[in-house]
């Protein structure tokens, strides 16, 4: 019985530590798509367009990092899923 309780406790504790997948968008289309389908905590960074009210309308990026799509800027996000147009690129 103790063994079952220990295993159950370990399983329940491990469930809480699973993190949701995180995304980075690199252009305006990807920004709009990501902001509609992802939860805020799943968005790691967005393109520079995401802060432009003329392009994002009512979904302006106020609190996520803005990045340019260059290799050096993407290095901190290698463990995230990149959203480029309609494609997801997993690392």
Per the structure, how many domains does the chain have?
Answer: 1
User: Is there a domain that residue 84 lies in?
Assistant: yes
**pLDDT, tens digit only, all 91 positions of the chain:** 555 544 545 545 545 445 678 999 999 888 988 889 999 999 999 999 999 988 888 888 889 999 988 889 988 998 998 877 655 566 5
User: Is there a domain that residue 80 lies in?
Assistant: yes
Compute the chain's Rg from CA coordinates: 17
The residue among 56, 24, 59, 60 whose CA lies nearest residue 42 is 24
Which residues are paired to 88 by β-bridges? 83
CA distance 40 to 23: 10
Q: Output the pLDDT for position 57.
A: 81
Q: Output the pLDDT for position 20.
A: 75
User: Is there a domain that residue 12 lies in?
Assistant: no
Q: Output the pLDDT for position 5.
A: 45
User: Is there a domain that residue 2 lies in?
Assistant: no
Q: Output the pLDDT for position 66.
A: 94
User: Is there a domain that residue 10 lies in?
Assistant: no
Q: Give the domain extent around 50.
A: 19-89
The residue among 36, 38, 62 whose CA lies nearest residue 50 is 62
Q: Output the pLDDT for position 8.
A: 46
Q: Output the pLDDT for position 2.
A: 59
């Amino acid at each position: 019985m103790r063994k079952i309780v220990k295993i159950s406790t370990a399983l329940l504790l491990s469930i809480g530590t699973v993190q949701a997948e995180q995304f980075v968008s690199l252009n305006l289309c990807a920004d709009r798509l990501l902001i509609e389908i992802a939860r805020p905590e799943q968005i790691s960074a967005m393109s520079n367009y995401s802060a432009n009210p003329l392009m994002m309308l009512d979904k302006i990026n106020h609190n996520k990092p803005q990045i340019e799509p260059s290799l050096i800027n993407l290095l901190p996000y290698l463990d995230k899923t990149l959203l480029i147009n309609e494609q997801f690129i997993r690392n």
